[in-house]
Amino acid sequence: MEIRRTQKIEKIFNKATSSKQIHEGVLFVENTDGDFSYSRGYGGKELDSPLLMASITKLFTTTCIFALQEQGKLSLDDKITKYFDNTMLSGLHVYRSKEYSFDLTISDLLFQISGLPDVFEEGNDSVKNRAIDEDFHTPFDEMVGSVKKLKPHFSPRTLQKSYYADINFDMLGEIIEKVTNSTLAEAYKQFIIEPLELKRTYLPECENDFVPNIYYRDKVIYRPKFIMSSRASGGCITSARELMIFMKAFFGGTLFNKAIFDMLPLCNKLQASMGPIYYGSGYMRIPLNGVITLFTGKGELMGHSGSTGSFAFYYPIKDLFFVGDLNQLGNASLPIRLSIKLAVMTK
C-alpha cells in the first residue's frame, strides 16, 4: 500500500518537474506521525534548501493573531481604528461613494472579506509587473497610498464575498507589531520559530539576510528589496523540512488552540482569478469534490500557496501534508494543481 502511494506521488512530481516551466523544485509529503514520509528534490533543490514562502507567510501572520487573541491582547472584533490613525485610514475603502475605512475589523482582514483591492495583481502598474522588471522597496504607508488609488470590490462583510488582497495581511502585520511592541520578525520568532526550534526559517530584515532567487519563466531574478517589503503577506524564508514542522503545528494545535477553526466557520469563495479557492480564518481551503477534479476528489485541502510556486497544504481526509516549492513566478496555479493531483491520486 505504502509502496503504491510512494510510486503515485513520485510519478506526479516527476510529471510536474518535467514541465519546461519548472527549473527546480522540492516536494515533502508526510502524515502527522511521520510513519509515512516521502521527499524528492529537483534541479538542486532539497529538503533543507532555502525557499521563499511567499504568501504561505500569511499562515505565520494568522498564527500570531490567534495567539495574541488567546492572550487577550487583541480581539478579531477590534476595529482597525484602534491601531491606525485617521489620516492613514481616510480614503482607504470608499465603495459607491460611502466610506467604510473606519468600520473595518481585524476579522475582515483575516478572512479577506474587507473588499479592499490587491495592488499586487491589479492596475496597469501592478506590484507584480514591476517586480518582474526591477527590485524596489515599498514602505507600508506607500502601499496604503497605492490601495487608495484603486477601487474596492464590495463593502466589508458582503454576504458570500471575499477578495484576496495582500494589503489585508500587510495591515495585520502592522497590528501585530503595535500589540507586541516589537518587530514582525521578533513576533514570528516568539510565536513560531523559537517554540518549534526552527533553524532555517526567518523574516529577512537587512541586506545580509539571504533571499533566494526566483524564476520568472526562464529568467532568474533576485528581488531582496521587494521580498523585504512583502513582510506579513509574503516575506518569509524557510525550508521544506521546517515548513512541514510548522504545518503540523498550525493544524495540530501546538501554537494556538485549534478549536478556533471550528469557532470561525465562515469561508467564502475568492475572486474568479483564484480558481476553486475559498478563504477561511486566515488560510486557503480548496474543495476537491467539484469540477476541478472532475468530481473524482473527496474532502478539501487546507493551507496556503504562494505566487512564487511554494505550497503547504493539509489533506485531513487522508492525514497527509504536502509542502514544497516549484519556484516559478510565471504561473501561480502550478503549486495548486500539483497539490490537488497529490490529494486525488493518494486516495
Confidence (pTM):
0.97
- Looking at the chain, the whole-number percentage of residues with pLDDT higher than 70 is 98
Q: Which three cell numbers stand for residue 96?
A: 459607491
Using CA atoms, how far apart are residues 166 and 171, in angstroms rounded to an integer? Answer: 9
Residue in the block written with cell 503547504: 312
Taking all residues of the chain, what is their mean pLDDT, rounded to a whole number? 95
SS3 per residue for 94-161: EECCEECCCCCEHHHHHCCCCCCCCCCCCCCCCHHHHHHHCCCCCCHHHHHHHHHCCCCCCCCCCCCC
Please report the pLDDT score of residue 275 as a whole number. Answer: 87
Q: What is the dihedral of CA 123, 127, 131, 136, to 10 degrees?
A: 130
Using CA atoms, how far apart are residues 125 and 28, in angstroms rounded to an integer? Answer: 36
Give Rg (Cα) of the chain: 19
Model confidence band, residue 297 (pLDDT cutoffs 50, 70, 90): confident
- pLDDT value at 265 more than 90: no
Please report the pLDDT score of residue 294 as a whole number. Answer: 61
* 88: helix, strand or coil: helix
- pLDDT value at 339 more than 90: yes
**CATH number, domain 2-345:** 3.40.710.10
Rounded to an integer, the average pLDDT of 262-266 is 91
- pLDDT value at 293 more than 70: no
At 51-78, the pLDDT tens digits run: 999 999 999 999 999 999 999 999 999 9
At 68-111, the pLDDT tens digits run: 999 999 999 999 999 999 999 999 999 999 999 999 999 999 99
At 224-234, the pLDDT tens digits run: 999 999 999 99
Delimit the domains of the chain by residue range.
2-345
Model confidence band, residue 283 (pLDDT cutoffs 50, 70, 90): very high
At 138-158, the pLDDT tens digits run: 999 999 999 999 999 999 999
- Looking at the chain, the whole-number percentage of residues with pLDDT higher than 90 is 92
Q: Name the residue with higher pLDDT: 241 or 347.
A: 241
The count of residues in the chain is: 347
